[in-house]
Amino acid sequence: MKFKKLYDIIHYKDLNSKQKENYNFHKVASALANYGFNSMRLNDDWQGADFIAVHIGGDDMLKVQLKGRFTLAKKYLDKNIYIAFIENDNVKIYLHDDAINMMPDNIENSKSWIENGLYTFKKTPVKYDEIISVLNS
């Protein structure tokens, strides 16, 4: 029997949070594979990363944190962490500290940043396009 007759394509909105994280990992890992990276899930957030991606050349290893959207967080400061997320079916990745270096005063002085050390955006501000790479376009 054909695969498509056995299984339906899933709808992301119908997944629970753990299923969404697994889905996102595989989408991001697939996009990174196009650039020669082998991605390995971690059982715990090692140095802030959900997974590591090792380049086939052997010299580069990325520590990657999966997020549901563009995120700034104090806990990732100075850890050489890449943040990866999916927005409008585009797999996006950026070096977290590059985004921190661009953070405007209104975010730095926001209640969310001061009290929680976290700031997220429903839609990524255009300002950050210069540091974000879209991996599947």
Q: Report the helix count and the strand count for the chain, using DSSP H and E.
A: 5, 8
Beta strands per DSSP E along 22-102: 37-46, 49-55, 61-66, 71-73, 81-87, 90-95
Instruction: Report, as ranges of residue numbers, the positions in the chain whose pLDDT lies below 70.
Output: none
**Cα angle value 104/96/36 (rounded, 5°):** 145
Backbone φ and ψ for 93, nearest 5 degrees, come out as -145, 145
pLDDT (tens digit, 9 = 90+) per residue, 79-103? 999 999 999 999 999 999 999 999 9
pLDDT of residue 109: 94
